[in-house]
Amino acid sequence: MVSGADGERLPAWVTWRPRPFPDANLLLLHGSRLALVDSGFVGHAEETAAWAHARAGHIALVVNTHWHSDHVGGNSLLQAAGSAVAAGAPEAAAVARRDPGCCQAEYLDQPVAPYTVDQPLHDGQLLRLGDADWQVVATPGHTPGHLALWQPEERLLAVGDALSDYDVGWVDLALDGPEAATTALASLHRLAALAPKTLLPAHGPLPADPSAAFATALRRARRLVEDPDGAVRYGARRVFAFALMIRDGIPATEAEPYLHARAWLTDAARLLHLTPETLAAELIDTMLRSGTIVLRDGRLHAAAEHTQVDAEALRVPFPRAWPNLYSQRNE
């Protein structure tokens, strides 16, 4: 929930709930059109929906900053309870046509329960959330359809994964092309120019000093532009850490075979002119040395704080096998 110092910086109609991985933070916007920004990981969907309903009642609209599994996992359940879902237009279109690449779920091996997008969002569009008007700010980079939400009167900026207090969103140079890092940097400049009073990131705490958070994020984003190999490795570390978090670790003996079988790892290895075997070994070695992963009881675990996921919750189909809810609705 919102704790003292954080709460004081937010208007009364905003509830901000920080959550550890594998869930994005939750942002509830109270008022006549009750809205929830991002919906967490599928493994915690019931908890997310129960919390939102208990806290606020019927959620009229769920807005996704982007379609990664830690942001859209509650969509399915909330939609079943009558919420509409809004998302960036490129992602909305891909979800509508049941593109197998939806949510990068299969590519990243991160499950997402099937959902639909009721409202595609465009850059500059005004969106009534709660009782306030928010502006959609297209911020491609971390994903091509990534968006931020800007509330000009209160100078609140919900930034999704574009940046956090300590970090900048990883970019997928294999999937989104070599320009993805430059695109992400341009999006960050655009967000910084809004000069928000309060930054609402999807991970980690509310930054005490938004301009300092931007300065750090811009520095890191420039590094991703200048060092594409470093950007590829950074992305690989983030994806692997997430894989460990949602599986309660992976047996050490199975970690390399797991990595060899992943499309994202094979793509990253190709960009780095390495074999998947070399990159997988390097990744595990680097992360063990830096302490971002640890070996415990024969399993590799992510070191960062995270909430356990029930293995059953991972048993949802990848988007290529999602039922076509649109055609069912229209029948």
Interface residues with Zn ion (CB under 5 A) are 68, 161
Which of residues 127 and 162 has its CB atom nearest to Zn ion in the complex? Answer: 162
Nearest residue (beta carbon) to Zn ion: 68
Tokens for 183, please give them.
């695109």
CB of 43 to Zn ion, least distance (A): 16
Which of residues 130 and 141 has its CB atom nearest to Zn ion in the complex? Answer: 141
User: Closest Cα to residue 165, out of 69, 25, 63, 303?
Assistant: 25
Which of residues 89 and 132 has its CB atom nearest to Zn ion in the complex? Answer: 89
φ, ψ (nearest 5 deg) of residue 110: -125, 110
Amino acid 40 reads G
CB of 184 to Zn ion, least distance (A): 12
Amino acid 185 reads L
Which of residues 68 and 301 has its CB atom nearest to Zn ion in the complex? Answer: 68
CB of 65 to Zn ion, least distance (A): 8
Amino acid 220 reads R
CB of 331 to Zn ion, least distance (A): 34
Is residue 327 helix, strand or coil?
A: helix
- Secondary-structure breakdown of the chain: helix, strand, coil percentages, each rounded to the nearest 5: 45, 20, 35
CB of 245 to Zn ion, least distance (A): 14
CB of 161 to Zn ion, least distance (A): 4
Task: Tell me the DSSP string of 120-143.
Answer: EE-TT-EEEEBTEEEEEEE--SSS
CA quadruple 249, 252, 253, 259: dihedral positive or negative?
positive
Which of residues 34 and 147 has its CB atom nearest to Zn ion in the complex? Answer: 147
CB of 67 to Zn ion, least distance (A): 8
Which of residues 43 and 130 has its CB atom nearest to Zn ion in the complex? Answer: 43
Which of residues 56 and 87 has its CB atom nearest to Zn ion in the complex? Answer: 87
User: Closest Cα to residue 140, out of 169, 88, 171, 183?
Assistant: 183
User: Closest Cα to residue 132, out of 112, 117, 152?
Assistant: 152
Task: Tell me the DSSP string of 224-286.
Answer: HHH-HHHHHHHHHHHHHHHHHHHTT-EEHHHHHHHHHT-HHHHHHHHHTT--HHHHHHHHHHH
